């Protein structure tokens, strides 16, 4: 399962960022997100026992969702995530070795960039999707300007200060989708609460598309 395949079926272009989640709660939260319509899920590697959580998500939701890791900083971590069934590979920075390893393993890299130079470094390493981070600090106008010089086949996502309230603004600026962290999940939130926030995001996306 790949991002293109999911989006082609009408899956909302939203990555759920479950920073701080614990293995004992991740299955319930993941299933609530899938039920809400969100099928791109990442567990940042600075969460408690993240590989355990990713393995559980891959087992419980992997047939319906693309799951993987965020805050991936080195090639060894790419190998570790792949080893537990993670397919999505999100980074906060541009590390050509990390991107190349993810591509080599057939994973979906989504590396974080700010400058055009960083964007082209990521593209040279094999990335076809990029994550503008921190997006809210730069704004949709910045993304729109950068999009004008990127290859047409390279897609951009916005992460950081993104959510239902500004999803439409980012899509209008040329983003393919957004990643949502604290506005969707914070440590201790119940699966029911996360599911409700997920439904609000999906409704916001549908309203924008309409």
Sequence spans of domains, the chain: 3-209
Q: 3-209 maps to which CATH number?
A: 3.20.20.70
Looking at residue 210, its pLDDT comes to 87
Known active-site residue 144: no
Known active-site residue 155: no
Q: Which candidate, 104, 74, 111, places its Cα nearest to that of 89? A: 111
Residue 14: beta bridge partners?
178
Residue of 42, 108, 144, 203 with catalytic role: 42
Looking at residue 13, its pLDDT comes to 98
Joined together, the tokens standing for residue 135 give 């997006």
| pLDDT, one tens digit for every residue, the chain (210 residues) | 899 999 999 999 999 999 999 999 999 999 999 999 999 999 999 999 999 999 999 999 999 999 999 999 999 999 999 999 999 999 999 999 999 999 999 999 999 999 999 999 999 999 999 999 999 999 999 999 999 999 999 999 999 999 999 999 999 999 999 999 999 999 999 999 999 999 999 999 999 998
Which stretch of DSSP H or E encloses residue 137? Answer: helix 135-138
The pair phi, psi for residue 88, each rounded to 5°, is -95, 135
- Give me the helix-helix angle, 96-104 and 75-83, nearest 10°: 30
Residue of 131, 148, 176, 203 with catalytic role: 131
Looking at residue 1, its pLDDT comes to 80
The pair phi, psi for residue 67, each rounded to 5°, is -115, 155
The pair phi, psi for residue 154, each rounded to 5°, is -90, 125
Give CA–CA dist 153/161, Å, rounded: 25
Q: What is the pTM of this model?
A: 0.97
HSE of 62, CA atoms in CB hemisphere, 13 A: 15
* Cβ(132)–Cβ(114) below 8 Å: yes
Looking at residue 199, its pLDDT comes to 98
* Cβ(111)–Cβ(122) below 8 Å: yes
């Amino acid at each position: 399962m790949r991002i293109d395949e999911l989006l082609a079926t009408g899956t909302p272009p939203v990555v759920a960022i479950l920073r701080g989640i614990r293995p004992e709660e991740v299955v319930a939260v993941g299933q609530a997100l899938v039920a809400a319509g969100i099928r791109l899920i990442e567990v940042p590697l600075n969460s408690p026992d993240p590989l355990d959580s990713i393995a559980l998500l891959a087992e419980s939701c992997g047939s319906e969702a693309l799951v993987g890791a965020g805050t991936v900083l080195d090639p060894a971590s790419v190998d570790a995530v792949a080893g537990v069934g993670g397919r999505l590979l999100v980074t906060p920075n541009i590390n050509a070795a990390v991107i190349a390893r993810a591509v080599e393993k057939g994973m979906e890299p989504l590396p974080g960039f700010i400058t055009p130079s960083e964007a082209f470094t990521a593209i040279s390493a094999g990335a076809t999707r990029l994550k503008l981070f921190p997006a809210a600090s730069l704004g949709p106008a910045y993304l729109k300007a950068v999009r004008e010089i990127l290859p047409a086949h390279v897609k951009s996502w916005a992460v950081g200060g993104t959510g239902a309230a500004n999803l439409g603004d980012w899509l209008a600026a040329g983003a393919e989708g957004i990643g949502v962290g604290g506005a969707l999940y914070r440590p201790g939130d119940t699966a029911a609460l996360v599911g409700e926030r997920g439904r609000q995001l999906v409704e916001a996306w549908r309203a924008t598309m309409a």
